Amino acid sequence: EVVMTQSPVTLSVSPGERTILSCRASQSVNTNLAWYQKKPGQAPRLLIHGASSRATGIPARFSGSGSGTEFTLTISSLQSEDFAIYYCQQYNSWLTFGGGTKVEIK
Amino acid sequence: ELQLLESGGGLVQPGGSLRLSCTASGFTLTTYGMSWVRQTPGEGLEWVSGLSVRGEYTYYADSVQGRFTISGDKSKNTLFLQMNSLRAEDTAIYYCAKDAGYTSGLGSFDVWGQGTMVTVSS
């Protein structure tokens, strides 16, 4: 099983700040990597697929990069609606999710 | 607008069974790969099961293999998850999700339902 490890577990950020979330795979997943945003009581929302392609309707402030085992999700200027938990997911070998990074208000 | 709506969750005793349903609107469910993903209380997301385009292939996580069965009904545009021999650790919110591009149903997911809660407890 491909283990996905996200860091940090919690990130305290002020609105307007640049935010970088990390995701590491236990073995190469090529660019078969997605990022999701999850808010309480809501379904996950696809942000990024193919490691760097924004999903339909996702604002340009969200960007993804990486390949192989190291990936990042960058939010260029954090907005109030961006406070949430973010999950990475690999789909190169079956499907596994990371444990999530909670982005909270500083 | 593409939408998914789950139903069928509830409280069940250990060893019991439940069947979850996921009805699609705005698209034909069998033309896409589909999956079930669950979120356990206080924990993250776990993929449970997938169904390929036209229901040709089924896939299961090791944790549910042999106990859960995924299927689809084209006439009802509905995805199902039959869950048998339920355990306390199956307690979770269950989401159905549409694959964004993989016909296997084992890709990224661009449409999700709102989820249905399953509680396994005596």
Q: With CB atoms and an 8 Å threshold, state whether B47 touches A95.
A: yes
Q: With CB atoms and an 8 Å threshold, state whether B45 touches A97.
A: yes
Q: Look at residue B68 and give its three-state secondary structure.
A: strand
pLDDT digits (tens, 9 = 90+) for A2-45: 999 999 999 999 999 999 999 999 999 999 999 999 999 999 99
Predicted confidence band of residue A99 (pLDDT cuts 50, 70, 90): very high
Q: Is B32 on the interface with A (CB under 8 A)?
A: no
Q: How far is A66 from chain B (nearest CA, A)?
A: 16
Over the range A29-61, which residues count as b (16 or more CB within 10 Å of their CB) and which as e? bebbbbbbbbeeeebbbbbbbbbbebbeebeee
Q: Is B114 on the interface with A (CB under 8 A)?
A: yes
pLDDT confidence of residue A106 = 87
Look up residue B25 and give its two tokens: 């609107």
Q: With CB atoms and an 8 Å threshold, state whether A94 touches B107.
A: no
The beta strand positions in A1-106, using DSSP E, are: 4-7, 10-13, 19-25, 33-38, 45-49, 53-54, 62-67, 70-75, 84-90, 96-97, 101-105
pLDDT digits (tens, 9 = 90+) for B11-61: 999 999 999 999 999 999 888 999 999 998 777 899 999 999 988 899 999
CA-to-CA distance for A91 and A33, rounded, in angstroms?
A: 6
Whether the Cβ atoms of residue A76 and residue A16 lie closer than 8 Å to each other? no
